[in-house]
Amino acid sequence: MAMPISCSAFRRTALILALLQWPVYGYVAGWLIALMVWLLPFAEAARIWVVIILSYVIGIGYLPHVIAGSVEAFYLVADGALPFSVCICRYVIPVLIGNVIGGVALVAIGAHTEFIEASE
């Protein structure tokens, strides 16, 4: 017998963080996704493990990612528990900002390091 999905569990997960915390946690998730992209060319045969491990870290840390983590927020919209505008303004946009800053920060640090090593 299948258990019905409780909206309260998703609501607690999706809405427990304050608006200013989403970009901070999103920063870490964006950094980890950028790290995954950075590591994949060097991983060769271990590519699947890089994806699994870094995705697992994002999952166990409840880190929001605008693509991977939007399922809970859009479930609340589909269930009628959350208006679409609130979902976009209080979840998607702050998480997107954090993800972009985190990803760009890692790429900028990596590019700067390569530039410094090349100039020496």
Instruction: Find the DSSP H helices in the chain.
Output: 7-15, 21-43, 47-60, 70-79, 84-87, 93-119
The residue count for the chain: 120
- Give pTM, 2 decimals: 0.75
Q: Are 41 and 110 a contacting pair, CB within 8 Å?
A: no
Q: How far is CA 6 from the centre of its chain?
A: 23
| Residue 114 vs residue 96, higher pLDDT | 96
Question: Looking at the predicted structure, is the pLDDT value of residue 93 above 70?
Answer: yes
76: closest CA among 61, 92, 53, 55?
A: 92
Three-state DSSP class for residue 69: coil
Mean pLDDT of 65-94: 88
